[in-house]
Amino acid sequence: MTIKGAIGSMLRYFYRMETVRLRPKEHQRLLGGHQWVFRNEISQTPQAELGEIVRVVSHSDRFLGIGFYHPTSRIAVRIISDIEERIDVEFFAKRIQRALELRHRLLPQAEAYRLVFGEADMLSGLIVDRFDNTLVMQMHSAGMDVRINEIVDALRHVIPDVTGIVERNTMGTRVQEGLPHRDGVVWGSVPDRITFLEGPANLEIDVLGGQKTGYFLDQRINREWIGKHVSGKRVLDAFCNVGGFSLHAGHGGAAHVVGIDSSATAIAAATHHATINNLSQVQFRKANMFDALREYAANEEQWDVIILDPPSFAKSRQSLGGARAGYAELNRSALKLIPSGGLLVSASCTQLFAEHDLLDVVYEESARLRRTLRLVHRGNQAPDHPVLLAMPETQYLKFLVFEVW
């Protein structure tokens, strides 16, 4: 045994983890690779503190993994490893290295990508986006939150080129975890605007003031698709944020593009993007999208391509009915504006609203309007947002393209 190994086993001997025992039969999902233990699945509650590492065992004492404990959250344990190991800088560095290798392999040219996608990178509750040499972190769990310093050290170790690390910990979900809102530079320095290329599009992102982590990286591949298929067309980019789809449409030769968003900051950034990309045919407008669609209908305006990329309409099952109604209204209003031969592009990032739900809604609304649609393309989240098969929760983005007969 090496000296390091001997010290490790001594530490393990003195450091006894608390054990969480599950109720009978509750271990199956975890054996399949799911990473969440719900409170009602536990038979024996440990004397563990917020974010402490615990061992999880089945009712009959089969070892299932170690994870972060939360004494009050609905998710009582978030599994972090299926072996007993120390959760330290070295552990995070190994996981982050593995995450980085996947991005290098699948998106070798990307200057911005999601480096860590939580559970799908075996780092439950941690999100890290990379924009050039700035990293933006979000901690959705207490276990990650209390280890912020180790995570920062690991990120710097794995990516020595990093010049600044930011946290954007202002998500509503943090309240359920009993975590405070925190926002700002954690390490190094961060420019007001970070510039990077996404395909042909020049972007300048404000990671401290923009929405979420600053840019919606999950639509990367879908934006490429749009860039290839709208040459010469009039394109309406609904819910455009800082203009991602619009810029790709413009670079792809669209005749005229209008992007609409209700956020004034997003529209200011989008307008700046049109300027620095030399795309005078791309324009932006601040408006409520539901009103704008009604206004276009009243004026009998037509669009060859309408992209609908609304924010999530439901965070819980209780609000799914409202979400369905929202998607129905949007898709119906958009369809009324698209001539024969045009494209309806309908995206949804509501995780609880599956692809077949969206297909159903679009079909119902098209049938009501007596319009025939053909599904010509289906996309999803970019590969830097991998889907862990054991956790359907990691699959959320739908991107459907319909041709109007």
- Residues found near ligand SAH in the complex (CB under 6 A): 211, 216, 219, 239-241, 244-245, 261-263, 266, 288-290, 309-311
Phi, psi at 39, each rounded to 5°: -55, -40
The three-class DSSP label of residue 350 is coil
Let me know: does 176 contact 74? Beta carbons within 8 Å. Answer: yes
Distance, in Å, from the CA atom of 223 to the CA atom of 187, rounded to the nearest integer, reads: 32
Minimum CB–partner distance for residue 30 and ligand SAH (Å): 33
C-beta separation of 10 from 32 below 8 A: no
Q: What is the DSSP letter of 346?
A: E
CA distance 129 to 132: 10
User: What's the angle, vertex CA 349, arms to CA 126 and CA 365, rounded to 5?
Assistant: 170
> Least distance (Å) from ligand SAH to the CB of residue 267?
9
* In the block, residue with structure tokens 């959250």: 73
Q: Which is nearer to ligand SAH, 1 or 264 (CB)?
A: 264
DSSP 43-70: EE-----TT-EEEEE-TT--EEEEEEE-
Shortest separation between residue 318's beta carbon and ligand SAH, angstroms: 20
The two three-digit tokens of residue 10, written as one number: 């001594």
- For 57, phi then psi, to 5°, come to -130, 155
Question: Least distance to ligand SAH from the beta carbon of 290, Å?
Answer: 6
Of 53 and 397, the one with the shorter C-beta distance to ligand SAH is 397
Q: How far is the CB of 208 from ligand SAH (least distance, A)?
A: 17
Q: What is the separation, in whole angstroms, between the first and last Cα of the chain?
A: 71
Interior angle at CA 348, CA 347 and CA 350, nearest 5: 170
Separation CA 150–CA 148 (nearest Å): 6
Which residue number, 158 or 258, has a Cβ lying nearer to ligand SAH? 258
CB nearer ligand SAH, residue 196 or residue 245: 245
Considering beta carbons, is residue 202 or 211 the nearer one to ligand SAH?
A: 211
Residues with catalytic roles: 349
Nearer to ligand SAH, 69 or 196 (CB): 196
* Amino acid at position 371, single letter: R
> Which residues lie closer than 8 Å to 220 by C-beta, 6 or more apart?
107, 110, 113, 198, 382, 384
Residue 289 Cβ vs ligand SAH, minimum distance, rounded to whole Å: 4
